[in-house]
């Protein structure tokens, strides 16, 4: 059994950036999974209540937006797995690659377009 982590406790997790998530999506096979955050994302990115230092909070907010953007473009499924009270593993699952809208469209261009928006 996994021990519960108290609410608000900082937990060391590997840091993943939005660019690293985009790179993973670009090369991932359909069905591949990556955990992009562990905690309570809604709380962890909110300035008033997050216990994360500001640079980490901002990086996590960018990562969350990147994951959401990739989901909205049909590139990944977003899944949460409960790992304890008020703690979740946030997972992106790669979907089959979409067909390019134009002959010169690439997955990288699609992801960078999302980042610029």
The CA distance from 58 to 80, in Å, is 21
1 domain residue, yes or no: no
For 56, 80, 83, the CA distances from 9, given in Å and listed in that order, are: 15, 19, 14
Give, for 56, the enclosing helix (H) or strand (E).
helix 54-72
Residue 15: the pLDDT is 79
- 47's tokens: 């300035």
8 domain residue, yes or no: no
The CA distance from 79 to 65, in Å, is 15
The confidence band for 104, taking pLDDT boundaries of 50, 70 and 90, is: low
Query: In the predicted model, is pLDDT for residue 1 greater than 50?
Result: no
12 domain residue, yes or no: no
How does pLDDT run across 16-56, given as a tens digit for each residue?
999 999 999 999 999 999 999 999 999 999 999 999 999 99
The confidence band for 115, taking pLDDT boundaries of 50, 70 and 90, is: low
What is the residue whose two structure tokens read 């994360």?
Answer: 52
How does pLDDT run across 85-97, given as a tens digit for each residue?
999 999 999 999 8
2 domain residue, yes or no: no
Query: In the predicted model, is pLDDT for residue 107 greater than 70?
Result: no
Are the CB atoms for 81 and 89 separated by under 8 Å?
A: yes
Q: Which domain holds residue 80?
A: 18-116
The domain tally of the chain equals 1
Which of residues 45 and 98 earns the better pLDDT score?
45
Are the CB atoms for 94 and 46 separated by under 8 Å?
A: no
């Amino acid at each position: 059994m996994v021990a519960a982590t108290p609410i608000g406790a900082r937990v060391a997790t590997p840091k993943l950036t939005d660019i690293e998530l985009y790179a993973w999506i670009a090369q991932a096979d359909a069905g591949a999974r990556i955990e992009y955050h562990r905690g309570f994302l809604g709380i962890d990115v909110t300035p008033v209540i997050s216990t994360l230092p500001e640079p980490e909070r901002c990086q996590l907010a960018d990562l969350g937006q990147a994951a959401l953007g990739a989901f909205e473009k049909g590139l990944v499924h977003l899944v949460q797995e409960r790992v304890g009270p008020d703690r979740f593993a946030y997972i992106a699952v790669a979907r089959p690659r979409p067909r390019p809208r134009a002959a010169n469209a690439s997955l990288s261009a699609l992801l960078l377009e999302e980042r610029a928006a």
